[in-house]
Structure formats: structure tokens, C-alpha cells
Amino acid sequence: MILLLTYLLSGMAIAAAKPLDKRLDNGLGKTPALGWNSWNAGQCNFATAQRALQAADLFISLGLKDLGYTYVNIDDCWSTKSRNSSGYLVPDPQKFPNGIKAVSDQIHAKGLKFGLYGDRGTQTCAGYPGSLNNEEKDAKTLASWEVDYWKYDNCHTTNENSHTEYEKMRDALANSGYKVFYSLCNWGRDNVWTWGGKVGNSWRITDDNFNSWNYVATIAAKGASIAQYGGPGGFNDWDMMQISNGKLSAAEERAHMGLWAIGKSPILLGMDLTKISQSSLAIVKNKGLIDINQDALGKPATTFRPSGAPAPSSKLYPYWAGPLSDGVVVGLVAADNAVTLSVNFTDVPGLGAGTFSWTEMFSGKTGSGTSVSAQLSLHDMAVFRVKKV
């Protein structure tokens, strides 16, 4: 009896230690995802076939596709409020009159990829059916529609410990017969960065990027503190962009793009692309920044403390650096006031004594020497790509 009990208990211990030992080995997300998502642009109103196809056309006509923007993702509110009599998710016939597969086919024909949204609980955040206990069915449905990206949210849950349910969907997706980028959206709960790499291709690190500088700064500060967890196949997701959504100054939009790019976050645009301003378009089309974001090394930049600079706190810190496959990226951000910021390369991790050449990504200015400096207006940013001469 005691032996049996010991046997059963040790079996349970093995079972309890088992989760997290698998990686989602789908070969996707070697570099951060680039694309667009419907949510920030128009919440439920934008979860339509028409908006998805329009975004895909604009990726091409605005030159975004040529720069690597690929995923056209529809967020919450795309389905009917209940499953069909066989328990399957059903696209809202008003929003998707020809179904989902017709849309994903058209988007694939343009050389782009299509994404959808779901939830690990009983309902999505906006009250549409969640996937709890329907993981396999839903994964098969997504595969039949050839959905390339699945964002999996954290509302209406019955279980605070989220990783087991995220794993359940990971396994269902892995067995579905179609390769899908798996984007975990549990808002940084459960220290997701410590296990996200074994479960998904990206994981949200905070609550939503609601539209203000304060959110941008707070998220970036968080990203700096957990930079080491991101790498090829699994990146910290700093949340969708708020560029061209009416609340950020031009300087703040530059810093938003610059920080997300060097922090190796996915860059999922969140504006109505039919209304994007020319200045915002230039920011999201900054090829130098996209190249840094997509660098094959996939190592997120983080903050460093130059000699004489005040110590970092939990707030956004001005000095950033990170390795690239052919050098180092240095970011300087005017976090609190208009300021001239300078760094000596001897203080920068990965650089040191000697002369380096640099290019600044927003101005295109180039130079060489032993330091860089930038005169910045409030919340503006400079990003330098630095190489050994």
C-alpha cells in the first residue's frame, strides 16, 4: 500500500515537473514579427474582411511589404457570439461574408500572411467564444483556413496559472498540420518571459499599450529589464504600435519606433492605414531601424550606464545598446526633458577603445570617432548603428 502510494506520488511529481519541456518547434519567428493588427486602428469595427484586404493592399501600395511587413492580423470580434451546433467557431457573416479561408487565400496571393485572435478562457476580452476545452478543434479549424498567426489572449479564465493552457494550445497548433506563429497575450503575467520561449514565438510583457507617451515609456522600461529572454524563435512582445493614432508627438513616434526596433519587439502597426500621415509613414518605413529589428543575431538591446550618468531606475532610461551581427546599436532617448546626450564608446557594452564609424537612423548622418552625441527635443530619440573602422 505504502509502496503503491509512493509510486503514485512520484508519478505525480514527474507529471508536475513535465510541463515546459517542449519548445514550439515551428521554425517561425526567427526575427520579430512585422505587420499590422486591427485592434488599435478600430477595435471591433476593424475586424472585417474588408479591412484585412485593404490593409494587405496598402502594405503593397505604401511600400511596407517591400520592407518586410508581412502579417495582416485581425484581432477580437471576428466570430459570431456562439459556436455552431457541432462546436466550431464561425466567422461573423456580416464581417466575413465569404468566410475566413477566402480572405487568407487572397492575402496569401499577395505574398502576405494572415492572422487571427483567440483566448485561452471561456470568452475573448470582447465576449466572443474562447477556446478553453476546444483547443484541438480550434487549432484544426485555423489550419483548415490557413491562418498563419494566432494571438492567444487571457480574458475570462478559470485558472490564474496560465502556462498549462498556453501549452495545451501550443500542442494543438503543433498537431494541426499547418505552421502558425503563436503569439501569447497574457500581459506579462506569471513571468511569461521565463517560459514563453518554450511555448510560443512571442509573448506580451505588459498590459496594453494604451495610447500615450506614458505607456510607451513604461513598456520600454519593462522591456529593458527582461531583454535577455528574447531571441530567435521567441521574442518579448511590447504590444502593438500607436504611431499615427493622434496622441504621440513626432518625437514620441520616433522614440516609439526606435525603442521597439532595438528592443527586438514585434512591430505590428496599429493605425488606420488609409489615414496614415506622411511623417508617421516615414517613421514606420525607416529601413535602417527595420534592419536593426530584423538583424539575424536577434539580441534585444537594453540599457547601460555610462560613467557619470545617474543610476537607472524602473523608469525609462536614456542610454541603450545591444549587439548586431556586424556591430552595435546605440540608442539615446530624451526620456524626461529636451537634452543633449553623449556617450563614449569605451562605456558601451560590445564597443571599447578605438575609433568606430556610425550612422544615425533618423537623420542619416554619418561620422566616425570615439563617441556619439545627439541634441534631442523632449521624448525624441537617436539610434546609431556603430561599426569598428
Catalytic sites, residue numbers = 153, 208
Which lies closer to ligand GLA via its Cβ, residue 155 or residue 333? 155
Task: Provide the minimum distance between the beta carbon of 85 and ligand GLA in the complex, in angstroms, as a whole number.
Answer: 26
The answer to the question of residue 171 lying near ligand GLA (CB under 6 A) is no
The DSSP 8-state label assigned to residue 195 in this structure reads: T
Q: Are 174 and 26 in contact (CB under 8 A)?
A: yes
Show Cβ contacts of residue 281 under 8 Å, excluding neighbours closer than 6 positions: 62, 244
Give CA–CA dist 237/263, Å, rounded. 9
The answer to the question of residue 57 lying near ligand GLA (CB under 6 A) is no
| Burial per residue of 344-363, b for 16 or more beta-carbon CB atoms within 10 angstroms, e otherwise | bbebbebbeeeebebebbbe
Give CA–CA dist 112/94, Å, rounded. 24
The answer to the question of residue 75 lying near ligand GLA (CB under 6 A) is yes
- Binding to ligand GLA by CB under 6 A, coded x per residue (else -) over 218-257, reads ----------------------------------------
Task: Provide the minimum distance between the beta carbon of 127 and ligand GLA in the complex, in angstroms, as a whole number.
Answer: 9
Task: Provide the minimum distance between the beta carbon of 270 and ligand GLA in the complex, in angstroms, as a whole number.
Answer: 9
Tell which residue, 165, 172, 168, 209, has the closest CA to residue 187: 209
Task: Provide the minimum distance between the beta carbon of 209 and ligand GLA in the complex, in angstroms, as a whole number.
Answer: 8
The answer to the question of residue 153 lying near ligand GLA (CB under 6 A) is yes
The answer to the question of residue 156 lying near ligand GLA (CB under 6 A) is no
SS3 106: helix
The answer to the question of residue 283 lying near ligand GLA (CB under 6 A) is no
Compute, in degrees rounded to 10, the torsion defined by CA atoms 248, 251, 254, 255.
-90
Stretch that binds ligand GLA, among 98-106, 118-126, 302-310, 381-389 (CB under 6 A): 118-126
- Cell 532617448 sits at which residue? 333
Task: Provide the minimum distance between the beta carbon of 239 and ligand GLA in the complex, in angstroms, as a whole number.
Answer: 7
Residues found near ligand GLA in the complex (CB under 6 A) = 39, 75-76, 117, 124-126, 153, 185, 187, 208
